[in-house]
């Protein structure tokens, strides 16, 4: 079983803490993206990232000076968004790190697929960015089915905790032999289930932590998740969508 999760825009460096256990599997592809990014002007970089001057300037400088295989932080500790804050990997015990290293995969526009302890450097590049690297029209085309093939294992079970921007990289290539389960964290408004972005991100991080703490290997066990006020709703769930409601 594999769990997929989105990266976070906010990143940090912790080179004095846990050392990474390896390098990203698609590092050579990342270097090709980096070479393309270095060819952009500041104005082109700002347009690509769709961000303000401060972020554009920071990342323009990052890409110019970046050495992807040096001064690395494990991906799980580098990303600092809401999901990762609620996952709280900085206080994981050894068995929890072992669990996520085996089961969790972080999808990335820049790195493709990351294992939690793969070494990364701070960057900003969303999957939906129109990066025309390698002759492709965007990053979805650039990565193609590589991410799916890297994520799927012999069980053919994939638990989706990623946003739509990232999960579409996997969903496009699913086969009939795959069991693909998307977790929905929402609230009922009338008869409609509404997912609120911040709360959903919080719950995704908590779900990873829950699965790591209990070393869950069967999706059925996920239905016991009861954190942040969520409970599994069998009535509104299916084999392919697990619905947790507040």
Q: List, for residues 41-99, the tens digit of each pLDDT value.
A: 999 999 999 999 999 999 999 999 898 887 689 999 999 999 999 999 989 999 999 99
**What secondary structure letter does DSSP report for 55?**
H
> Which of the four pLDDT bands, split at 50, 70 and 90, describes residue 190?
confident
Question: Which among 30, 104, 109, 34 has a CA at the least distance from the CA of 74?
Answer: 104
Average pLDDT over residues 25-31: 96
Question: CA 24, CA 123: separation in Å to the nearest integer?
Answer: 14
Average pLDDT over residues 7-31: 88
DSSP conformation letters of 137-179:
SSHHHHHTTHHHHHH--TT-EEEE-S-HHHHHHHHTT--TT-E
The H or E element containing residue 216 is none
Per the structure, the complete domain to which residue 157 belongs is given by 2-245
Arithmetic mean of pLDDT over the chain: 94
Tell me: the pLDDT tens digits for 200-230?
Answer: 999 999 999 999 999 999 999 999 999 999 9
List Cα–Cα distances, 206 to 123, 132, 228, 236, in angstroms: 25, 35, 8, 21
> Which of the four pLDDT bands, split at 50, 70 and 90, describes residue 15?
low
Taking each helix axis as running N to C, give the angle between helix 94-103 and helix 197-213, from 0 to 180 degrees, rounded to the nearest 10.
110
Question: CA 210, CA 201: separation in Å to the nearest integer?
Answer: 14
Angle formed at CA 2 by CA 150 and CA 222, multiple of 5 degrees? 165
Question: CA 89, CA 86: separation in Å to the nearest integer?
Answer: 9
Q: Which pTM does this prediction carry?
A: 0.95
Q: How many domains does the chain have?
A: 1
Give the ranges where the chain is alpha helix by DSSP (H): 27-38, 42-49, 53-65, 75-78, 82-87, 94-103, 139-143, 146-151, 164-171, 197-213
> Which of the four pLDDT bands, split at 50, 70 and 90, describes residue 188?
confident
């Amino acid at each position: 079983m594999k769990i997929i999760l989105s990266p976070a825009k906010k990143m940090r460096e912790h080179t004095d803490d846990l050392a990474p256990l390896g390098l990203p599997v698609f590092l050579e592809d990342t270097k090709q993206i980096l070479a393309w990014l270095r060819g952009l002007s500041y104005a082109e970089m700002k347009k690509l990232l769709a961000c303000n001057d401060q972020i554009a300037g920071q990342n323009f400088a990052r890409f110019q000076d970046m050495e992807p295989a040096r001064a690395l932080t494990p991906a799980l500790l580098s990303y600092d968004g809401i999901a990762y804050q609620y996952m709280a990997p900085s206080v994981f015990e050894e068995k929890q790190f072992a669990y996520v290293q085996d089961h969790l995969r972080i999808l990335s526009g820049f790195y493709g697929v990351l294992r939690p302890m793969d070494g990364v450097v701070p960057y900003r590049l969303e999957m939906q960015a129109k990066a025309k690297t390698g002759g492709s029209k965007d990053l979805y085309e650039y990565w193609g089915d590589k991410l799916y093939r890297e994520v799927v294992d012999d069980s053919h079970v994939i638990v989706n905790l990623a946003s739509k921007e990232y999960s579409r990289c996997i969903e496009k290539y699913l086969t009939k032999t795959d069991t693909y389960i998307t977790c929905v964290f929402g609230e009922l408004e009338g008869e409609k289930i509404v997912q609120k972005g911040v709360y959903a991100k919080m719950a995704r991080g908590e779900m990873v932590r829950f699965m790591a703490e209990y070393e869950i290997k069967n999706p059925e066990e996920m239905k016991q998740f009861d954190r942040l006020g969520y409970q599994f709703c069998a009535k509104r769930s299916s084999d392919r969508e697990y619905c947790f409601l507040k």
